Amino acid sequence: MATDARDVTATRLLVVSGAWLVLVGLLTGGYIAAAATGSIDADPASAVAAHLNAILGGLWMIAVAWTLRFVRYGARGQRRLAWLIVVANWMNWFVTAVKAALHVRGIAAGPPVANDVVFATLSLLVVLPSLVAAVAWVIGLRPSSQQG
Domain limits, the chain: 9-141
**What is the pTM assigned to this prediction?**
0.90
- Distance between CA atoms of residues 44 and 128, nearest Å: 26
User: CB of 26 within 8 A of CB of 55?
Assistant: yes
pLDDT given at position 3: 45
pLDDT given at position 6: 58
Would you identify the CATH topology of the domain 9-141?
Answer: Four Helix Bundle (Hemerythrin (Met), subunit A) (1.20.120)
Cα-based distances in Å from 120 to 48, 74, 132: 21, 32, 17
Kindly indicate the confidence band of residue 147, based on its pLDDT and cuts at 50, 70 and 90. low
Kindly indicate the confidence band of residue 130, based on its pLDDT and cuts at 50, 70 and 90. very high
Per-residue pLDDT tens over the stretch 47-106: 999 999 999 999 999 999 999 999 999 999 999 999 999 999 999 999 999 999 999 998
